[in-house]
Amino acid sequence: MSVMDELTRVLDLEPIEVNLFRGVSPAEDRQRIFGGQVVAQALMAAYRTVDGPICHSLQSYFIRPGDPRQPVLYQIERSRDGKSFATRRVIAIQKGEQIFNMACSFQTLEAGYDHQSDMPDVAKPDTLVDEVITVGEELKDLPEAHRNWIRKRPIEMRPIDRQSLLNPTPKSSTQHVWLRAREDLGDDIALNQAMLAYASDYSLLGTAMRPHGASWMSGVQTASLDHILWFHRPTNFSRWHLYVQDSPSASGARGFNRGAIYREDGVLVASAAQEGLIRKR
């Protein structure tokens, strides 16, 4: 099974009861569930309870670390079903406790005013290298237990001005990363949004560590605290997208980060915001 097939399987939640779904994690050696996975699964669970409207925003909080060896139950509260908008609340539960919750809003597609910011002019993805290759070279001399990050991921990422994990140096609080799903996702809007949500958690928190010459492998404890996404326009996430990220502030052992996700042709498809723990050990 390919890594994309595995992720698609993980996002295909099992219905348990009305408004209740079960999700599992991939067979990976992780200490905790990847935050982007929980966001994507919660979004897919919410989609199972709406008929027609498309998600335009989600706001989520990570409450406890998730155990990848245990299934996650996703409980849906149907807050509102209106003529144009529907609202859902998703609670993720493990071992009888909340590990995550999300509020998300859906809207029936309609025409209206249309404008967007311009995509920055940066190096194109075909001039860059897959991050799995560059990180694999950097970590090749570490013990196997420390090289799990090298494994091929369902999301291909090609960063511009990548920060070293082992020997980070101070860099700009802005970073640009090209990313896409490794296989075709088709035209399913919900699946494409879930894949984008999954990928949006990969590099965003690291943006706040760049000015300080730090990384999660250089003695910094990190964890996502919240994650917000706005979906502006439908997209096929199998194509290249530029993730423009910046960190306006870090304080109190927390880093605040923003992101804008553009399709390769310059169309702004989503925006993100996240605050995360960046605690110096």
Instruction: Tell me which residues are annotated as active site.
Output: 201, 224, 274
Question: Which phi-psi region, left, alpha or beta, contains residue 210 (left: φ > 0; alpha: ψ -120 to 50)?
Answer: alpha
Residue 32: closest CA among 280, 277, 281:
277
Count of residues in the chain:
281
Exposed e or buried b for every residue in 229-252, given b needs 16+ CB within 10 A?
bbbbeebbbbebbbbbbbbeebee
What is the distance of C-alpha 235 from the center of its chain? 15
Q: How many C-alpha atoms does 230 have within 13 Å on its Cβ side?
A: 8
Cα–Cα distance, 9 to 132 (Å, whole number): 22
Q: Token pair 């290249």 is at which residue? A: 240
CB 158 within 8 A of CB 179: yes
Cα–Cα distance, 129 to 140 (Å, whole number): 17
- 3 state SS for 85-119: EEEEEEEEEECCEEEEEEEEEEECCCCCCCCCCCC
Q: How many CB atoms lie within 10 A of CB 127?
A: 10
Contacting residues for 220 by C-beta, under 8 A, at least 6 apart: 209, 214, 278, 279, 280, 281
